[in-house]
Amino acid sequence: MIPDRDLYLSQCKRRFGAGNPERLNAEPGKFALWEWMVRTGKRPHFVRSDLGLEANETHWSAETGYGAPEPDWCFERFGMSRTRMHDGRILCVGGEHEDFYDPDFCIYNDVIVLRPEAGHPTCTTGSGQVEIYGYPRDIFPPTDFHTATLVGSQLILIGRLGYDADGRLGPTPVFALDTDTYKITRLDCVGNDPGWIFEHHAWLDAGSHAITVRGGRIVRPEFKRTQRFQGIYRLHLDGLRWECVSPTDGFRRFEIEAVALGENFAEPGGELFRPTAVPHAWLEPLGSDDCRTFQIDVSGARISFLPLYSTVRVTVEGTLPAATHEAVFREILANLCRCDAEWQLCELDPNGDWYERK
């Protein structure tokens, strides 16, 4: 289905659900535009242009300053969690489109379920069925850059960046998504929580029935800007009790630079950052399809790789044994040689910027 102008204008705006949950596209044709946006990954700006519609731009008002229009709905998002279920479903939660300066900037609170066709083990955005669930804002606030940890039939959602208006200086937000009914429940936790964290890493320790949280960033009321989160915290699921494991954690930054490019050089892709010699878990990327940070979990530590053509920015959140650390980087450097280039590794000041050498 290619949307026409009337369909786009009638369905292009975001809306919150009326139930917990409300299946928004339960009726055929209802929210058909949203399904099409999921399958194509189109940005609203370009769809409007293709249809000959006026851009959904920000306009200047002498009385009020800049005034943003209501954003058009979009599935091209940053900070959206994607969880692959054992039955082939993919559960996509929240996320944001662009940033505050964009007329279509929006932080979402929906759950998009990609379901395989009968007889097929997996699916993509272009195959299978699309189910869209909405929620009241007071039940499930707009959520982005959270973590989603599967525990039995529940997806435990921890942290978010969110809007200022949603009280983001309170305790760490924790929600449970029932993966059978898609009902969302706010979890009231006790103990010393990590604060308003986002872009962090969560790791399930099934033996202790707890989720360990580390890395990422944190919003603190005493700072005007967000800060790097430096602690290690554990949420004990029996009793929903937070524990501070350590106020500080290991954090290192590296830059891998191509020092000699061959004629067939190409920017490295995600498959090059998966070391076969070191056990690891592949984590879903934080960004959208055109701006990806690739991540792996090695024994609870998160290693992130951001390719920027001939350089790769690397962060290690957590402490690894020296032999494991060396094995990971040895194989990554060998893999990068497949891009027709020679590469060198340099460690940077963990508290500096990406242009300062250690």
pLDDT tens, the chain, 358 aa long? 678 999 999 999 999 999 999 999 999 889 999 999 999 999 999 999 999 998 887 655 555 545 567 899 999 999 999 999 999 999 999 999 988 888 899 999 999 999 998 888 888 888 889 999 999 999 999 999 999 999 999 999 999 999 887 766 789 999 999 999 999 999 999 999 999 999 999 999 988 999 999 999 998 876 667 899 999 999 999 999 999 999 999 999 999 999 999 999 999 988 999 999 999 999 987 655 445 789 999 999 999 999 999 999 999 999 999 999 999 999 999 999 999 999 999 999 998 877 665 4
Q: Please indicate, yes or no, whether residues 134 and 40 belong to a single structural domain of this protein.
A: yes
Tell me, yes or no, whether 279 lies in a domain. Answer: yes
Number of structural domains in the chain: 2
Q: Which residues span the domain enclosing 237?
A: 5-246
- Could you tell me if 172 and 289 lie in one domain? no
| Same-domain pairing of 164 and 278 | no
Contacts of 36 (CB under 8 A, 6+ apart): 1, 2, 3, 42
324 and 178 in one domain? no
DSSP 216: S
Domain membership of residue 357 (yes or no) is no
Identify whether residues 223 and 274 lie together within a single domain: no
Which run of H or of E encompasses 38? helix 32-40
pTM above 0.75, yes or no: yes
Give the CATH number, domain containing residue 27: 2.120.10
Residue ending a domain, choose from 246, 266, 289: 246
The number of beta carbons lying within 10 Å of the beta carbon of residue 279 is 10
Whether 121 and 69 map to the same domain: the answer is yes
Closest CA to 26 of 131, 98, 165, 101: 131
What pLDDT is attached to residue 278?
96
Query: How far apart are the C-alpha atoms of 352 and 358, rounded to whole Å?
Result: 9
Q: How many residues does the chain have?
A: 358
The enclosing domain of 310 has a CATH number of: 3.30.310
User: What integer pLDDT is reported at residue 313 of this predicted model?
Assistant: 96
Provide the pairing of β-strand 227-228 with 217-219: antiparallel
Looking at the structure, do residues 132 and 185 belong to the same domain, yes or no?
Answer: yes
Do both 267 and 227 map to the same domain?
A: no
My answer on whether 10 and 122 are in the same domain is yes
Question: Do 273 and 206 sit in the same domain of this protein?
Answer: no
Residues 172 and 214 in one domain: yes
Per 3-state DSSP, the chain is made up of helix, strand and coil in percentages (nearest 5) of 15, 35, 50
Same domain, 232 and 262: no
Task: Answer with the one of 246, 278, 297 that is the final residue of a domain.
Answer: 246
Give the number of other Cβ atoms within 10 Å of residue 44's Cβ: 24
Residues 358 and 348 sit within 8 Å (Cβ to Cβ)? yes
- What CA–CA distances, in Å, run from 224 to 143, 200, 214, 215, 312? 21, 20, 22, 20, 29
Residue 356 domain-assigned? no
Would 355 be classed as within a structural domain? no
Residue 353 lies in a domain: no
Question: Of 246, 264, 289, at which residue does a domain stop?
Answer: 246
